[in-house]
Amino acid sequence: MTINYDLPEEHEVFRKVVAEFARAELSPHVADWDERHHFPLEAVAAMADLGLFGLIFPEEWGGGGGDFLSLCLAIEEIGKVDQSVGITLSAGVGLGANPIYRFGTRAQQERWLPDLVSGAALGAFGLTEPGAGSDAGSSTTRAEPDGEDWVLNGAKAFITNSGTAITSIVTVTARTDAGISNFVIPAGTPGMIIEPAYRKLGWHASDTHGVILDDCRVPGDHLLGEPGKGFHNFLSILDDGRIAISALALGCARACLEMSLEYAQQRETFGKPIGSHQAIAFALADLAVAVENSANLTYKAAWLKDQGRDIGQAAAMAKLYTTEAAVTATRVATQIFGGAGFIEDSPVARFYRDAKILEIGEGTSEIQRMVISRGLGL
Amino acid sequence: MNVIVCVKQIPDPASPGELDPSTNQLKRDGKLILDESDSYGVEMALQLVDAAGGGEVSIISMAPNGEMSGMRTALAMGAVKGVLVSDPALAGSDALTTAKVLAGAVQTLGGADLVIAGTESSDGYTGTVPEQMAELLGLPSVTFAKSVKVDGGALKVSRQTEEGFDEVTCPLPALISVTAGVVEPRYPSFKGIMAAKSKPVDTKTAADLGVTAAGWAGAQQAIVEVAQAAARQAGEVIEDDGETFNKIVEFLDGLKVI
């Protein structure tokens, strides 16, 4: 048997369906949503109809029974049209539903999973704190047992999908005597305060808030996974999420390549299309290589995950390379578009603002390099 | 209620098509996709079966090289099975032979309560196959259906006309052709796409259906000439001098629309 770089035919068919969906249902609105900082529940409902939130979950939960690669292709194609909608999907699946599916008891799954899988509800995951991110050892949020209940105190920062009209749960990490543990906090629980939405550089149509826990009381059965295993469990959730962010970044880079290529063949300077000038042609050649590499790293990481293999290194490499390629791609695209790329009428400007966070969320580039260098034995 | 939908598989309009210079026909050798104008028929069939509370949607197609990529899309949307007629001897078939083949495919499936076709394909545009099929099958036919309801064993159709629409009632079984845009075709889900892989598609030849494949030589129609469509003339541009509305009124008056 020889090596095979073709995606399965059904996956290519599915990619086309999502691409057509994004073109027809999302692209006419994304600039408006971005400008108004509007979280598009209508886009969530449309993606839910297409089964995107349940894509990777088994049919018994109402899911599509798809593999991780299918999710990556969906995120890539949505992200190619709009990064905000892409992160809403990625976080909804990876950080909302996935922890409940992976670590929930049967009763917890029955309680929260169906709505997260159908897309009727969105879940959020609160790890980052004002004073701690990937260095979870510095986190200060605490959960104290009180009778049958747990009482949580602390603050979480930059929590995606935490304040939408359909947010059903926020899963948070908190210190307990047994170590870091995860707790599911249903929306509306007294003591969980969702702060006003951040004013962000990009991702204007995504939902991001700080979350304050002030004597927030949840029943004992809201502990998710084994006590003390919270750190280990969220690292595993983050590994999956890094591949998903890599797919989102791939969509960004691919959009930049396609938009730049089209523009370079139309826009003329010195009597010929700018793509005929070597400076632009070479920039596009480099961009094409970066997109190709990004795709290969992302799909391989997804494939490893689908094979049930260890993905720590592959996920970190894909996330590091692809997100940096995406940021470069937006810079190159904006340069090729020139003044037109600096104007908000152009999608290039939106992608330029949206890209930077890719190098930060789900572990910064520095954290990815740390993970990779540790993998080298350093 | 069982519905059979005729689906044509056509070259992807997104890639530039090519004509065979010897026959003036579109080359259909490569990968084919579901004709968008047939996706409306598939959606309408799925909705009718759903509303009837039972039954199934089957699809039939005639295509070269055993091609069924486009049929898989219809199966992914929710059709349960298909019949594909693929036979090198059918290359160059005219509309009537195509109608005979598709009518034969309908009979292979044991008929249905309703047969749905698009009004015309997006690559051939003869627009005559549905009525010919109805005649061959001995079914009443209603063309240009824009909405369809089943009421007490009869079909109620709003039929698009140049002035508006006709309300037509027709007994079942029947054959209808539906216009594009009358329903919103669903997007196939990933689950549907995976399931479509294993849905049965029965492949038949012309001989299996008892149809004489006349091919190029026996076709009753020929494309004599293909010519470039006249380029659209540029419109008149009027600079706004503050009084341009008068010109607009004058223009519309000239068209007798005001």
Give tens-digit pLDDT for A272-321. Answer: 999 999 999 999 999 999 999 999 999 999 999 999 999 999 999 999 99
Q: How far apart are CA A62 and CA B89, in angstroms?
A: 46
- pLDDT single digits (tens) A60-116: 999 999 999 999 999 999 999 999 999 999 999 999 999 999 999 999 999 999 999
Q: Tokens standing for A165?
A: 């009209």
Position B151 in a domain: yes
- Please tell me if residue A70 touches chain B, with a CB cutoff of 8 Å: yes
**Residues facing A159 on adjacent strands:** A209
Average pLDDT, chain A: 96
CB atoms within 10 A of CB A331: 14
The string of DSSP codes covering A250-315 is HHHHHHHHHHHHHHHHH-EETTEEGGGSHHHHHHHHHHHHHHHHHHHHHHHHHHHHHTT---HHHH
Q: Judge whether A14 is closer than 8 Å to chain B, CB to CB.
A: yes
If we measure between CA atoms, which residue out of A274, A246, A259, A279 comes closest to residue A334? A259
The answer, for B190 touching chain A at a CB cutoff of 8 Å, is yes
Q: Is B206 helix (H, G, I), strand (E, B) or coil?
A: coil
The residues with which A146 forms a beta bridge, in sequence order, are A149
Chain A's closest residue to B192, CA to CA, is A64
Q: Is residue A141 a contact partner of residue A182, using CB atoms and an 8 Å limit?
A: no
Provide the pLDDT confidence category of residue B245 given band limits of 50, 70 and 90: confident
Name the residue of chain B whose CA is nearest to A20's CA: B187
Chain B residues touching A20 at Cβ < 8 A: 187
Q: What is the least distance, in Å, from the CA of B87 to any CA of chain A?
A: 25
Q: Give CA–CA dist A129/A148, Å, rounded.
A: 26
- The sign of the CA dihedral B99, B101, B106, B107 is positive
| Domain assignment of residue B116, given as a range | 2-218
Q: Does B194 touch chain A (CB under 8 A)?
A: yes
Note the ipTM here.
Answer: 0.85
Residues of A in contact with B190 (CB under 8 A): 10, 14, 51, 55, 64, 66, 70
C-alpha pair distances (Å), B219 with each of B28, B91, B223? 18, 10, 10
Number of domains in chain B: 1
Mean pLDDT of A126-144: 89
Cβ contact, residue pair B194, A10, below 8 Å:
yes
Is B256 near chain A, with CB under 8 Å? no
Copy the structure tokens of residue A187: 């929306």
Q: Do residue A51 and residue B72 have CB atoms under 8 angstroms apart?
A: no
pLDDT band at A368 (very low <50, low <70, confident <90, very high): very high
The reply to whether residue A51 touches residue B193, judged by beta carbons under 8 angstroms, is no
Which pTM does this prediction carry?
0.89
Domain membership flag for residue B25: yes
Residues 6+ apart with CB under 8 A from B242: none
Q: What is the mean pLDDT of residues A13-26?
A: 96
* Contact with chain B for residue A42, Cβ under 8 A: no
List CB contacts of A275: < 8 A, sequence separation 6 or more: A261, A264, A265, A281, A284
Please name the amino acid found at residue A323.
T
pLDDT in tens, B129-143: 999 999 999 999 999
Residues of B in contact with A65 (CB under 8 A): 191, 194
Does B128 score more than 90 pLDDT? Answer: no
Average pLDDT over residues B37-41: 94
Contacts of B163 (CB under 8 A, 6+ apart): none
Summarised one tens digit per residue, pLDDT across range B57-89 is 999 999 989 999 999 999 999 999 999 999 998
Supply B232's token pair: 């659209």
Helix or strand run (H / E) with residue B208 = none
CB A270 within 8 A of CB A284: no
- Residue A78, sorted as left (phi over 0), alpha (psi -120 to 50) or beta, turns out to be alpha
Q: What is the pLDDT of residue B229?
A: 85
Is B241 inside a domain boundary? no
pLDDT per position as a tens digit, A251-279:
999 999 999 999 999 999 999 999 999 99
Which residues of chain A lie closer than 8 angstroms to B181, CB-CB?
none
Fold type of domain A9-121: Butyryl-Coa Dehydrogenase, subunit A; domain 1 (1.10.540)
Contact B190 A51 (CB under 8 A): yes
Average pLDDT over residues B161-176: 92
| CATH number of the structural domain A123-228 | 2.40.110.10
| Chain A residues within an 8 Å CB radius of B73 | 13
Residue A136 sits at the chain B interface (C-beta within 8 Å): no
Does a structural domain hold residue B233?
no
B211: pLDDT confidence band, cut at 50, 70 and 90? confident
Among B190, B191, B198, most A C-beta atoms within 10 A, so best to mutate, is B190
Task: Provide mean pLDDT across the span B226-249.
Answer: 84
Instruction: Quote the percentage of chain B above a pLDDT of 90.
Output: 57
Residue A134 confidence class, pLDDT cut points 50, 70, 90: confident
Among candidates B89, B102, B131, B186, which has minimal Cα distance to A20? Answer: B186
Residue B242 covered by a domain: no
Query: Nearest C-alpha of chain B: how many angstroms from A11?
Result: 8
The rounded percent of chain A whose pLDDT value lies above 90 is 93
Spans of all domains in chain A: 9-121, 123-228, 231-375
A231-375 is a CATH 3.40.50.1370 domain: no
Work out the minimum CA distance from B191 to partner chain A, whole angstroms.
5
Q: What is the pLDDT of residues A153-207, one digit of tens each?
A: 999 999 999 999 999 999 999 999 999 999 999 999 999 999 999 999 999 999 9
The larger pLDDT score, comparing residue A240 to residue B92, is at A240
Would you call A50 and B187 a contact, using CB atoms and an 8 Å cutoff?
A: yes
- Region A215-231: mean pLDDT is 95
Within 8 A of B75 by CB-CB distance, chain A residues are none
What is the structure's pLDDT at B16? Answer: 76
